[in-house]
């Protein structure tokens, strides 16, 4: 067997999320469909992270196994993939890796960027999240700072999440102006729960605009098993932007 690793990006706007679903257009489904055409067999990808419906990826990593008798040069393989894939997926790196490489379980760090704008723009609404008022980056960072470190993030995940543990560690959070009307939020950690980033951003926005008390994130972290109503930010502003091994 040969273990093939692909690194790619996608525009998540018109996908029903990453994970393969019956009768739904998904990122995994589209790539595996093309792999089957090229390789003449079913392929099951292993992937660093599964994004929600409407979420984008600047960097996504998957690996899959092919028969050792398939000797197609990797550059030709990459060219064939991109020729057959839809325009909202781009494979920009392909390589053969050790048989024991696993893109999901061997990822040491993952990072997301969330983009918020306070200027309405019909042409970018699929790629940013609009809020009605300007945000001060430094004040927003103060709200997010308690999340840094290892915590039980049970209050920052959907209840249908099937991970056995909700313990995760966030290494770094940054906020910055991308232009005078747009803010970026960078969050890096060892791994993230389902919809965790969108819940973090939604909660922080509620605090910033006075809909929740200033200490609300601390309350959620200190009382992880006390159920509270969660706020989920729109998927359009979210990008998987880093996977590190």
DSSP H or E run through 81: helix 74-84
Determine the Cα–Cα distance for residues 17 and 13; give it in Å rounded to an integer. 9
Determine the Cα–Cα distance for residues 167 and 156; give it in Å rounded to an integer. 11
Q: Which of 11, 52, 67, 179 is catalytic?
A: 52
Cβ-defined contacts of 123-132 (< 8 Å, 24+): 125/236, 126/11, 126/13, 126/54, 126/236, 127/13, 127/56, 127/236, 127/237, 128/182, 128/236, 128/237, 129/201, 129/233, 129/234, 129/236, 129/237, 131/205, 131/209
208 within 8 A of 231, measured Cβ to Cβ: no
Which class for 165: exposed (0-12), middle (13-18), buried (19 or more C-beta within 10 A)?
A: exposed
159 Cβ neighbours under 8 A, 6+ residues apart: none
Does the annotation mark 14 as catalytic? Answer: no
For the chain, the farthest-separated pair of C-alpha atoms sits apart, in whole angstroms, at 62
Give the three-state DSSP class for 13: helix
Give the three-state DSSP class for 65: strand
Q: Which residue numbers are catalytic?
A: 52
């Amino acid at each position: 067997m040969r273990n093939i690793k692909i690194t790619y990006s996608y525009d998540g706007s018109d996908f029903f999320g990453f994970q393969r679903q019956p009768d739904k257009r998904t990122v995994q489904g589209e790539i595996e469909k093309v792999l089957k055409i090229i390789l003449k067999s079913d392929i099951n990808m292993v992937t660093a992270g599964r994004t929600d419906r409407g979420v984008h990826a600047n960097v996504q990593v998957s690996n899959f196994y092919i028969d050792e008798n398939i000797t197609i040069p990797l550059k030709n393989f990459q060219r064939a993939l991109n020729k057959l894939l839809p325009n909202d997926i781009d494979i920009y790196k392909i390589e053969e890796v050790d048989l024991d490489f696993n893109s999901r379980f061997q990822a040491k760090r993952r990072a997301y960027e969330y983009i918020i704008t306070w200027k309405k723009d019909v042409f970018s609404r699929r790629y940013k999240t609009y809020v009605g008022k300007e945000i001060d980056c430094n004040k927003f960072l103060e709200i997010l700072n308690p999340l840094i470190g290892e915590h039980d993030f049970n209050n920052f995940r959907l209840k249908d999440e099937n991970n056995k543990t909700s313990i995760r560690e966030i290494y770094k959070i940054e906020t910055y102006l991308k232009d005078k009307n747009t803010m970026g939020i960078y969050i890096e950690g060892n791994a993230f729960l389902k919809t965790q980033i969108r819940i973090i951003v939604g909660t922080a926005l509620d605090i910033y605009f006075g809909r929740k008390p200033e200490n609300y994130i601390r309350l959620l972290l200190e009382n992880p098993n006390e159920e509270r109503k969660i706020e989920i930010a729109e998927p359009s502003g979210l990008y998987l932007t880093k996977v590190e091994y």
